[in-house]
Amino acid sequence: MKVKFNRAALQEALGLVTSIVPSRTPKPILQCLRITTEQDSVRLSATDLEVGITALISQVEVTEEGDIVIPADKINSIVRESFDEIIEMQAAESAVHLVGSDSRFTIYGHDPAQYPDVPGFEGQADLEVKLDKLQEGIEQTVFAAAKESTRYALNGILWELHGKKLALVATDGRRLSKSMVPLEKASSAPEGRIIVPAKTMTILDKIPMQDGASAGIRFVNNQVALICGDVVVSSNLLEGNFPRYEDIIPTDYQKKVTLPTAPTLSAVRRAALLATEDSKGIKLSLDKHSLVFSSRAPETGDAQIDMAVEYDGEPIEIGFNPQFLVDVLRVLKANDFELHLGQSDRPGLIKSSANFLYLIMPVNL
């Protein structure tokens, strides 16, 4: 192999592809990536056996074709630290040479025949969606998925088709986030519930954004594949039963207040400054024309932030985990949102437009 790369294009592709490379694995070859020439382009591939990703780089000059497998962290570090506009890659047998204007690195590779297959995208897409809309939906839900749960379904994001919209739903049992994503096309859908791993969703959110870019999605057996431009991400789906979340979303709440997003985020963060692990949360006190955010810790002190609001319902005091509020307020795009409340022992409900809702369990203070 002999290829000249535009360093910036190579670095962008490496940043995306190496993001799924495991830091620890009993199979060292999974800590590598595969680099393969294809006519006038080069394809980078990586997999952890659950998620696979390929990126095609067209800003190259291929002199000799080839297929190599080299450690991902080594090539990523070398390219990131380079100042050259052009980096040349030369491969012979098991050695790969990276040559710059004043540098030469030699990396020892592996046999490409031993590298696992990384699926591509074949056939017609079942769904088509604007990438920016999909990524907005991911950002509004992925944080609410369980990080480590024996109920594996909670470690993923539920996908549900509702006509020309895709519902993304995530929950860890203490909060639930749902975002509706408009689709460009919805020709067919797999049977049963689709649960995509949170890790896969995070990878999809890292695909570089291009104006007006659309993504095609295809379901094959127990896998999902997405293509956007020169990037393909494939993933196994999670098995298990996702909770029947529709049954827990309240529809009978009488208390509603509209709040400004940025000032509320600031108030929550400031009120949480003196909260401790023992005090568990912050208190929201909603009364006529005012909302007070407060926290109290016996050994630390107390905090109180006042906000003027338009509200004429019954007073209520309710406690929440401040981090759960910060997580959702950071991803809201609108300048304001609606907070719906029932009783102090029932969940709080946040709504932003007709396409987003967030359910958060209260805490005892």
> 57 and 165, same structural domain?
no
290 and 318 co-located in one domain: yes
Task: Answer yes or no: is 122 within a domain.
Answer: no
Domain count, the chain: 3
Task: Indicate if 224 and 260 belong to the same structural domain.
Answer: no
Domain span at 217: 127-245
What percentage of the chain carries pLDDT values higher than 70? 99
User: Are both 268 and 340 inside the same structural domain?
Assistant: yes
Q: What does the pLDDT read at residue 149?
A: 64
Pair 191, 96 in one domain = no
Q: Let me know whether 102 and 19 are in one domain.
A: yes
Q: What is the pLDDT of residues 121-133, one digit of tens each?
A: 988 999 999 999 9
* pLDDT tier at 355, thresholds 50, 70, 90: very high
Share of the chain above pLDDT 90, in %: 83
219/269 same-domain check: no
233 and 340, same domain (yes or no): no
* Domain end position, chosen among 50, 85, 114: 114
**CATH number of the domain that 184 lies in?**
3.10.150.10
Q: Which residues of 82-116 are buried (b: 16+ CB within 10 A; e: fewer)?
A: beeebbbbbbeeeebebbbeeeebebebbeeeebe
Distances in Å between the alpha carbon of 331 and those of 139, 196, 335, 352? 7, 20, 11, 11
Average the pLDDT over 270-274 and give the result: 93
Q: Are residues 156 and 133 in the same domain?
A: yes
Q: Per the domain annotation, does 335 fall within a domain?
A: yes
pLDDT tens sequence across 66-120: 999 999 999 999 999 999 999 999 998 889 999 999 999 999 999 999 999 999 8
- pLDDT tens digit sequence for 186-205: 887 776 779 999 999 999 99
Which of these three, 62, 87, 114, is where a domain ends?
114
pLDDT at 151: 75
Whether 213 maps to a domain, the answer reads: yes
Whether 176 has a pLDDT exceeding 90, the answer reads yes
Does one domain contain both 225 and 264? no
pLDDT at 234: 96
Residue 59 in any domain: the answer is yes
What integer pLDDT is reported at residue 39 of this predicted model? 86
Q: Which of 245, 264, 290 is the last residue of a domain?
A: 245
Lowest-confidence range among 168-172, 180-184, 361-365? Answer: 361-365
Reply yes or no on whether the pLDDT at 362 is more than 80. yes
- What's the whole-model pTM score? 0.91
Q: Is residue 308 part of a domain?
A: yes
* The pLDDT value given to residue 210: 79
Report, as an integer, the average pLDDT of 176-181. 97
Q: Does some domain include residue 172?
A: yes
Segment among 213-222, 255-264, 342-351 with least mean pLDDT: 213-222
Residue 64 pLDDT > 90 = yes
Please check whether residue 121 lies inside any domain of the structure: no
pLDDT at 280 over 90: no
**Do both 82 and 137 map to the same domain?**
no
Q: Tell me, yes or no, whether 110 and 189 share the same domain.
A: no
Cα-based torsion angle of the residue sequence 19, 23, 26, 28 in order, rounded to the nearest 10 degrees? 70
**pLDDT score for 77:** 96
| Interval 333-360 mean pLDDT | 96
pLDDT in tens, 20-53: 999 888 999 999 999 999 989 999 999 999 999 9
- Whether 235 is covered by a domain: the verdict is yes
